[in-house]
Structure 1
Amino acid sequence: MTDLLRSTTLRWAVGIALWSVLLALTMFAFIYWQTASYLREELAETLRLEVRAAAADPAATALRVDTWTAMDPHARHYGGDFAPDGVRRAGNLDAMPKGLPRDGDAYRVNATVEVGGRSLADEIWAAALALPGGGTVVIAHDTDDIDRVRVTTLRALGLGLLPMLALSGIGGLVLARRGRRRFAATEVALAEVMRGNLGKRLPVGGRGDEFDRLAANVNRMLDEIEQLMGEVRSVGDAVAHDLRTPLTRLRARLERSRAQARTVAELHEAIDQGLAWIDQTLAMVTAVLRIGAMEEGRRTAFAPVDLGEVAAAAVDFFEPEAEERGVRLVLSAVGPFTVHGDRDLCFEALSNLIDNAVKFTPPRGTVRVGVAWTGQAIEVAVEDTGPGLPASEHEKVFRRFYRAEMSRQTPGNGLGLSLVAAIAKIHAASVSVRTSEKGGCRFAMTFPNLTIEDRTSSTYWTASRKDPLVNS
C-alpha cells in the first residue's frame, strides 16, 4: 500500500483528476455567473420599464399595478400603489418595502406580499418611483427564476462532478501507466548496467519526445563510460606489463650481483643499472599522473604564449641530436603566433613530436617544423621523411601505452603522444596525424582562440601562404 501511495502512477492520476475537477468548478462558476447576471439584468430592465409606465399617468397608476399583478398566473408579479401616508391603494404588497429607494432602479429587498388571501414574507426584486402628490408606485418580481438557476447549476455540478472525477482519474491512470512502462524499461536497462553490463542501452522510441531524447543522452553517456572503462582496463594492463619488465630485470640483476659480484666496481655497475631501470619506471608513472592531471584540467596558469618562439626553442634544443643522427631539422615560422596557454606544456608537446620525428627519420632525411595560420587558428606541424604510419594506426597512436609495430624495438613507453593529446585538450586544441607527401608522418596541433591583432595581420597571412609545410 505504501508503494502504491508513493508511485508516480497514482500521483499523476490524482493530479490529473484534481486538475479536471478544478477546471469543471471554474467552468460551472463562470456559466452560473453569466446566466444569473443576464437574468438579473433582464428582470431589472423589465421592472424599470414597468414602474416608469405606471408612474407616467398618475390617474391610471392603480389600474397599471393591478394589470401587472393579474397578468401572471403563477403569482410571481407584485406591485403596489401607496398613498403619501403609506396606505395601499392597489396591488398585492401589504406595505412599502423598507429601505427601497424611489429612483426607479431595481433592488433586492424583503417585503410582505399577499398571495391567495394570505400575507407572506418574501425576498423580491422591486423598483419604486414617487408620484405627484407624495404617493409611491412599486413594481416587483420574485427571485425564484434566479434561485432556480443557482439550484440547477449546483445540481448539474453535483451530478457531473463524480463521473468527471472518475473519468479523469481513469485517464490519468492510462497516461501514467504509459509513462510508467517506459520508465520500467529504463529501470531494467539501468539495472543491467549497474550489474556490470556496460553494453546495455536504454530503449529509444521513434517519437522523438522528451523520453526519447533523455534515453538518447543517457545512451551517449553510457557509450562514453564504456569507452573510458575500456581505456582504464587497457591502461591498467599496459602499466602492469611495462612495470613488470624493468622490475623483473632489476630483481634478476640484483640477485645475480649478490651472488657473482667480486669487486666494488661490479657492485656499483649493478646498482647503476638498477637505478636506471627504477628511473625508467618512475618516469612512466610520472607521465601517467601528468596525463591524468592535464585531462582533468588542473593546469590553469595560462598566459599569452608565442608558438613561433616555442617552436624555435624546441628546434634549437633538438638540433644537436638531429645533427648526430644525420637528420636535417628545418623551422618554418614567421610570427609571433600568440595563443593563451602554458608555455612549458606547449614546449613539451612540440618536443615530443620533434623527438619522435628525429628518432624515426633515417640519415640524410628531413624534419620540418612549421607554425602558420589556417583560417582563424594557428597550426603547429611537424613533418618527417621517415617510414610513416599505416592509416589504420593514425587514431591509435594517441592512446596511452600504444606503440606502433615499428617502434616496439626502440626505447619508450608509449606515453609521449598521449601526453601531446592531453596538452592539446587542456588548450582546447586538436591534434592529428596523416601521411605526408614524402611518405613520412605529419603531426599537427591546431590552437584556437586567437587575438584580433593576430587575425588581422597581413604579415602572418603572407607567411602562411608561403609555407610549403602548411599548404602541402
Structure 2
Amino acid sequence: MTLRTRLTLLTFAAVLLAMLTFAGVAGTVLWRAELSSISRQVDAQAEALLAIADTTPGRLNATARDILEENGVTATARVYRSGVQVWSGGSLGPPRLDPAFLSGSGVHVVRRTGEYLVASQREGPLIVEVGRSLEPLEKLLRRYVLIAALTLLGLSTVVGALVAAQVRRALRPLETLAGRVQRLDLPSPLPALHEPGEVGALARALDGSLKALRAEREHETLFLASASHELRTPVTAMLADVQHTLSRPRPAEELRSALERTERTASRLRQLTGNLMTLTRAQRLPAPPGAPLPAVDLLHLAGEAVDLLQPLATRRDLDLWLDGAPAHVRGDVALLGSVLENLVGNAIKFTPPGGQVRVTVEPGADRARLVVEDSGPGLPSGSLTEAFVRGHSDVEGFGLGLAVVRQVVDAHGGELAFGQGEDGGARVTVTLPLAVDGPETASPVDTLVPM
C-alpha cells in the first residue's frame, strides 16, 4: 500500500470516527433533552389535573382536554380516589399504581412504564396519573440516526476525496524527485528546491549530495584519464627503449646507457605511483568539519621538505630559501608533506641554473599562508585553471603533482592560488585554516611521501 493510500485511509477513518463521536454525543444530548422536556410537561399536567380533580366527572371532561393537549400532543390520564379509578382519558394500559401512592400525601414521581413516560401525583385520597407515549420520540431518534449516518457517509466521502487530492498534490514533488534522483547525470537542479516544509528540505539535501557526487565522479573520470596518460607515456618509452636495445647485440657502454634510461623511467613511475597513492589517501581524508586531525607546524614541515630537496637544488646550482614564522594547522603530516615536496620540487625543476626558489610560511589571524616562489619562466595561463595539465611540455612530472596539491589542499579545507612572482617566475600560494587549540596538540613527524 502506497504512502498516499495509507494517508488517505487514515485521514478518512479519523474524520469518520470524529463525526461518529460527534453524532453520538449530539443524539444522546437530544434524547435526554427531549425526555426531560416531556417529563416536565407530564408532571405539570398531572399537577393541573390534581388541582381540579373531584368527584364530578363532567368537570374533568370539560377541562382535561385543554390540560392534556400541549404543543399538538395529547397525553393520556387516569384519576383515582381511594385507590379506585374514577376517570380516564385515553389508555395508559392496565392500572399500575405504585403502593407508595396508597398512603401519605404530597407524593409525586415521574417514571417510565413500557412505552409511556408517566407522572403520578397524590393529594389526599386523589391520585392522578398523566402519561405520554415515547414512540414519537423514538421515531425522531431513529430518523436522526438515519439522517446522521447518511450525512456522515457523504461528508466523510467528500473529506476523503479532498484529503486524497491534497495528499496527492503534496506527494507529487516526492514522486518527481524520486524519478529525477535516478538520473544522476542531468545537470538541471532538482525539482521542489523551493518547496516549504519537509519536501523542500529533502530536495535541498539531495541536491547538495548529488552535486557533490557529480563533482566526485567528474573528478574521478578526469583523474583516471590523466593518470592513464601519465603512466602510459613512460611505460611506452621504457618498453620501446628496451625492445630497441634487445633488437641486436650491444656494447657494454650502450647497454649501461640503456639501463640508466630505464632506471630514470622507473624512478618516474615510482614517483607517479606515489602521487596516485597520495591522491587516494587524500580522497579518504574527512573534509572539515570532520574527524579532528592533528595540529602540525607548517614551518617545521616546510623545513623538512627544504632539507630533503636541498641536494637537488644544489645539483641544479639553485639557491633554496626558507623564511617565515611557526604556523600550526590541522592536517595529515604525510599529505601536507607531499604538497610541499611537489611545489618545491616542481619549482626546482622549472627554475634554470643560477636561479632561486623561496619558501615562505606566514601565519595570519585565522589562516596560515604557504608561498613557493621561483625565478623560472612562470606558469602558462592554462595551468592556473586546469588541475591535471602540464605546466611545461618539456619538463615531466608537473601535471599529476599539481593534481596531488589541489586534492590535498581541498581535503584540508584550504585554497590554492597561482600567480607571478617578483622575478617573473611562478608563485603558488596555499592557504590553510589555523589550528585553534595551539601548537601543543601534536607535532609533525618525519614521514613524508617520496616524490
Is TM > 0.5 for Structure 1 vs Structure 2?
yes
- Residue aligning to 1:330: 322
> Aligned residue for 2:269?
281
Structure 2 residue 433 is the aligned partner of structure 1 residue 447: yes
Give 1:422's aligned amino acid.
Q
Partner residue, 1:117: none
Change (3 A) 1:417 1:96: farther
Deviation of 1:364 after TM superposition, in Å, equals 4.4
Equivalent residue number for residue 239 of structure 1: 227
Judge conservation of contact 1:295–1:425 (CA < 8 Å) in 2.
no
| Equivalent residue, structure 2, for 1:430 | 414
Q: Which moved more, 1:320-329 or 1:282-291?
A: 320-329
Q: 1:47 to 1:73 in 2, by over 3 A?
A: closer
Structure 1 pair 287/78, CA: closer, same or farther in 2 (3 Å)?
A: farther
Match of 1:296 among 279, 284, 289: 284
Matching residue within 99, 112, 115 for 1:122: 115
Tell me the secondary structure at the aligned position of residue 410 of structure 1.
coil
Tell me the distance in 2 between the aligned counterparts of 1:224 and 1:146. Answer: 73
Let me know the Cα RMSD of the aligned residues.
4.8
Q: Normalising to structure 2: TM-score of the pair?
A: 0.70
Closer, same or farther: CA 257–366 of 1 in aligned 2, 3 Å:
closer
1:19 corresponds to 2:6: no
In 2, Cα distance between the equivalents of 1:28 and 1:99? 43
CA distance in 2, matches of 1:79, 1:453: 107
Task: Determine the C-alpha separation between the residues in 2 that align with 1:341 and 1:387.
Answer: 32
* Amino acid paired to 1:254: V
Alpha-carbon contact 2:324-2:362 (below 8 Å) kept: yes
Contact 1:62/1:89 (CA < 8 Å) preserved in 2? no
Deviation at 1:431, TM superposition (A): 2.3
What are the Cα deviations for residues 417-467 of structure 1, in whole angstroms up to 9, with x where unaligned? 32233333443x21220425625423123125511799xxxxxxxxxxxxx
- 1:419 aligns to 2:410 (yes or no): no
For residue 332 of structure 1, report the CA deviation from its aligned partner.
0.7
* Corresponding residue of 2:68: 70
Deviations 1:283-331 (A, max 9, x none): 3234223312321238979433233332333344444544554335131
CA distance, structure 2, for counterparts of residue 307 and residue 98 of structure 1: 111
CA distance in 2 between partners of 1:263 and 1:123 (Å): 135
Contact conserved, 1:105 with 1:128, CA < 8 A, in 2?
yes
Q: Which stretch has the larger CA shift, 348-357 or 202-211?
A: 202-211
Cα distance change, pair 228–204 in 1 and its aligned pair in 2 (3 A) = same
- Structure 2: state its 5+ residue gaps: 55-59, 441-451
Q: CA deviation at 1:14?
A: 8.1
Query: CA, structure 1 residues 98+369, in 2 after alignment: closer, same or farther (shift >3 Å)?
Result: farther
1:468 aligned residue: none
Distance 1:181 1:34, change over 3 A: closer
Change over 3 Å in CA distance of 1:59–1:183 after alignment to 2: closer
Structure 1: unaligned runs, 5 residues or longer? 1-5, 112-120, 455-472
CA contact (8 A) 1:311 1:350 kept: yes
**Cα distance in 2 between the residues matched to 1:21 and 1:382:** 72
Structure 1: which amino acid aligns with 2:319?
V
Q: What SS does the aligned partner of 1:408 have? A: coil
Q: 1 CA distance for matches of 2:109 and 2:376?
A: 109
- Deviation digits for residues 397-423 of structure 1 (CA, Å, limit 9, x no counterpart): xx3x4223xx22113152223223333
* 2:346 corresponds to which of 331, 345, 356: 356
| Paired residue type of 2:430 | A
1:264 Cα deviation from its structure 2 partner: 5.2
Conserved? CA contact 1:51–1:137, under 8 Å? no
Q: Tell whether the 8 Å contact from 1:201 to 1:219 is kept in structure 2 after alignment.
A: no
If asked which structure has higher relative contact order (CA below 8 Å, sep 6+), I would say 2
